[in-house]
Amino acid sequence: TPSGIGAIAIIRMSGGSAFSTISKYLAPLNNRDRRVNLESIKKNRLHGLLIDNGAVIDEVIVSLYHSPKSYTGEDVVELSCHCNPFIIQKIMALLLQNTRLAEPGEFTYRAFLNEKLDLTRAEAVGDLLNAKTELSHQAALMQLEGKLYQNILSVLDELTNYRLSLELEIDLHDQDTPQLNHENFIDGLNEIVNKLTQLLSTSKEGMILRDGLRVCLAGAPNVGKSSLFNSLLGTDRAIVTPTPGTTRDYLEEALSIKGFWVRLFDTAGLRETDEEIESLGINRSHEQIIKADRILYIEDDNDEYHEASAQAYIQDPDKVILVLNKTDLISKDRINDFKAKGYHTISVKNREGIQKLKESIVAGFEISDNFLSSGILTNSRQIAAVERALRSLKKASTSFETQMGYEFTAFDLKEASEALEEIVGKNT
Ligand code: GDP
């Protein structure tokens, strides 16, 4: 448990000697001179005293999970003690005489090695710990339930069947066995390609659920970036002043838009400057702009600071959402000119157009329940594996259709299976 003061802290131990290690220090509540032999008792929970050299360290509850019915598949002890860093430190010092600290994620790693979890579900544990919005929470839970795992397993089953039918043909081609139906075979392969392509189409959303969508507010100084930043967040996080060049470094805050985790960056106004600190701020802003998934490029129809150089900082126009701010100061005709050029028109001052702009940030990203329940790809490892499987399947279709020989097609299908097995960790 995280450090700090609270009611209860939990210390977990996993491994063959977990029970015997605790036994050395655990006494019944009414007799501190006796020790409880955890290996021989039937109970799963015990209330006792933790003793070091005859002195009581704490009154604790010990929960026992017998192998293989534990998270890691090994014997696991959970020791609940009072959550005081001093007590925890004492207990840890005692236990570490015979144990070592777990590496980050090691309990889940052991669960995977002991086949308690496949790799998609092991990854889901991490995603669940980091989930920040309703949707990412849902997605992690579904993956933990094994939705992606089952989806991949069913495709693997189909692939194996097709491969076996080819191998049967290869082995028994001179015997009187039913002929392989070419049309059905190709239809079947196409169906698998469609399923995997559909799965791959979930990766864009999946990555955002996991890593968040990076959205950068950019533009010349004084156009209202910080004001918009505050307005989107609903707080006064950034300093707003009429003095250009106030935002020296970028700020980062997060918000949820339609269930997506959006990481919002307010950056220094982009302009040519000789001022050293401002110039450093602009460089750092530029780095954020390069990393962004979406850039809100803000203007205010005031030429004073609109050096052409501001636009030049934006390298990827596909990521840009053009925004005209301060419409409260601009004529209707002029606003319409901007609208015609594809600008979102807003007035932060009057809170006009903000909600629509918010929605446009996540436009094009959608996650249906159907999507979630059939499993989605949430990291680059999974995405690369599906892409590889698809490439092998295309090779399989070509080798089959050009009659290169069943051996070739069977080999391509095997490659596709191996790629998918990597996702669930069957093949590591
Ligand atoms: P930044 O330098 O781009 O971050 O701009 P700021 O958010 O600091 O705003 C610069 C000035 O513009 C401040 O005086 C704000 O009050 C003002 N401002 C921001 N948005 C609006 C708006 O929608 N209408 C009007 N009239 N003024 C605004």
Q: How confident is the model at residue 306 (pLDDT cuts 50, 70, 90)?
A: low
The pLDDT value recorded for residue 168 is: 87
Say whether pLDDT at 309 is over 60: no
Tell me what the mean pLDDT of segment 20-37 comes to: 94
Residue whose C-alpha is closest to residue 272's, from 244, 301, 238, 250? 244
**Number of helices and strands (H, E) in the chain?**
16, 11
Tell me the pLDDT tens digit for each residue of 329-352.
Answer: 999 999 999 999 999 999 999 999
What amino acid is encoded at 40 in this protein?
Answer: S
Say whether pLDDT at 305 is over 70: no
What amino acid is encoded at 289 in this protein?
Answer: I
Q: Are strands 251-257 and 260-266 parallel, antiparallel or unpaired?
A: antiparallel
Say whether pLDDT at 58 is over 90: yes
Say whether pLDDT at 303 is over 80: no
Residue whose C-alpha is closest to residue 285's, from 354, 212, 220? 220
Sheet holding 344-345, edge to edge: 251-257, 260-266, 213-219, 294-299, 320-324, 344-345
Q: How confident is the model at residue 259 (pLDDT cuts 50, 70, 90)?
A: confident
Residue 60's φ and ψ, nearest 5 degrees, are -130, 165
The pLDDT value recorded for residue 269 is: 72
Q: What residue owns the CA closest to ligand 1's atom 12?
A: 224
| Residue of 222, 229, 346 to mutate, ligand 1, most atoms within 8 A of C-beta | 222
Mean pLDDT value across the chain: 88
Tell me what the mean pLDDT of segment 122-148 comes to: 89
Say whether pLDDT at 234 is over 90: no
Whole-number percent of the chain with pLDDT over 70: 90
Cα(240) to ligand 1 centroid in Å equals: 7
Cα(98) to ligand 1 centroid in Å equals: 62
Tell me the pLDDT tens digit for each residue of 280-296.
Answer: 777 777 788 888 999 99
Q: What residue owns the CA closest to ligand 1's atom 11?
A: 242
Pairwise CA distance, residues 264 & 216, whole Å: 6
Pairwise CA distance, residues 149 & 205, whole Å: 18
| 385 exposure class (CB count in 10 Å sphere: 0-12, 13-18, 19+) | buried
Q: How confident is the model at residue 310 (pLDDT cuts 50, 70, 90)?
A: low
pTM for this one? Answer: 0.72
Instruction: Judge whether 209 and 366 are in contact, CB under 8 Å.
Output: no
Mean pLDDT is lowest, of 249-258, 299-308, 350-359, for: 299-308
Q: How confident is the model at residue 99 (pLDDT cuts 50, 70, 90)?
A: very high
The residue behind tokens 């533009």 is 219
Which ligand 1 atom sits closest to the C-alpha of 239? 8
Calculate the CA 253 to chain-centre distance.
Answer: 18
Residues in the chain: 428
Q: How confident is the model at residue 311 (pLDDT cuts 50, 70, 90)?
A: low
| Ligand 1 neighbours (beta carbon < 6 A) | 221-227, 240-242, 246-247, 269, 325-326, 328-329, 347-349
Which ligand 1 atom sits closest to the C-alpha of 350? 23
Pairwise CA distance, residues 338 & 297, whole Å: 13
Instruction: Judge whether 220 and 269 are in contact, CB under 8 Å.
Output: yes
Pairwise CA distance, residues 162 & 393, whole Å: 12
